[in-house]
Amino acid sequence: MATTKPIPESDAAIEQRALEIRRGLRKLNRSYWTLWFLAVLIMLALTVAVVTLAMTADDSPADAFYHLGLSQAVRGLVGIVLLFSVYTLHQQIQLMRTRRSLAEQVEISTEKHLLAEQYLKLAMLDPLTGLHNRRYAQERLATEMARAQRGRTSLTVLAMDIDDLKAINDRHGHAAGDLALKAFGERLSKAIRGSDLAVRIGGDEFVVLLPECGLEQVQIVLERLEGLQVRFDSGTAALQFSAGWTNYQAGETAEQFLERADQALYNQKQGRKKPVPVEISDARLK
């Protein structure tokens, strides 16, 4: 039987649930104060009654009607105590129900909050590599560009892709290709600083945001990525990659910034594909 994933609550539903919990807490608080007030009131009444009876007991006449009235007063006090005990018991039951209901609502709200965090995490992360995805990168890039322009600091975008990933898929299978992407993502995460952001754009394409990192420091990141080998069931492959990078220019848009990084990557790949010119000596021409 197919199972359906729970749908996260909307902001209005979450606010309504929080409002119900606050109302329940206020009601619980009022009930506690009411019980305390009634308990104090009953204790004062009993104290006054006991003191009054004690003061009149010694001077009580031998009149039968007087003793009958005194007996009825005592019964009345006992009745009041019994009624208060019953009322207190009833209120305690109501408070227990209210407390249980609030506990259930808090538990539901906690589960909904954790579920919302999971959905948010899935919306920001690439499920294969664990890196952030394009959606989150766009938001973060806008923030970093504004910070760089405001503080006049450097911001570098490093664009990369894995060479010959298709050949790995064809030779070792798509599971091996996924393993290669995952291994490259893990190495990339370790190669950057905590303030940097590694992103899988899609397929074999990756982008790294490097705040306050000069172009010369990019080489440090690239050197940490060198020599990566991935072992498959059918063999081992050395992962090679291409990279292009550029620095942020004040006033340009995020699209222009990323486009220049992509162009730098394209130029680097094209430069690697050009044949190396061979010098022909005069002796070979003769």
d(CA 197, CA 180): 20
Catalytic residue selected from 204, 233, 262, 282: 204
Residue carrying the six token digits 């923030």: 143
Give yes or no: 204 in active site. Answer: yes
Taking a C-beta distance cutoff of 8 angstroms, is the pair 229, 236 a contact? yes
Give the Å distances, CA to CA, from 154 to 130, 149, 273. 27, 9, 31
Rg (CA), the chain: 39
Q: What is the pLDDT of residues 126-148, one digit of tens each?
A: 889 989 998 889 889 999 999 99
pLDDT digits (tens, 9 = 90+) for 110-120: 666 665 555 55
Segments making up each domain of the chain, as ranges: 11-124, 134-272
Contact 218, 208 (CB under 8 A): no
164: region left, alpha or beta (phi > 0 left; psi from -120 to 50 alpha): left
For 58, the 3-state DSSP assignment is: coil
Secondary structure class of 17 (helix, strand, coil):
helix
How big, in percent rounded to 5, are the helix, strand and coil portions of the chain? 65, 15, 20
Contacts of 237 (CB under 8 A, 6+ apart): 168, 172, 176, 180, 229, 230
| Distance in Å from the first CA to the final CA of the chain | 83
Overall pTM > 0.75? no
Q: Give tens-digit pLDDT for 63-89.
A: 555 555 556 666 666 677 667 767 776
> What gap in Å lies between CA 31 and CA 16, rounded to an integer?
23
Helix (H) or strand (E) run with residue 202 in it: strand 197-202
Q: Is the dihedral of CA 90, 95, 96, 98 positive or negative?
A: positive
pLDDT tens readout for residues 144-189: 999 999 989 999 999 999 998 888 888 888 888 899 999 999 999 9
- Pairing label, strands 229-232, 205-211: unpaired
Q: Residue 18 corresponds to which amino acid? A: A
Domain covering 134-272: architecture: 2-Layer Sandwich (3.30)
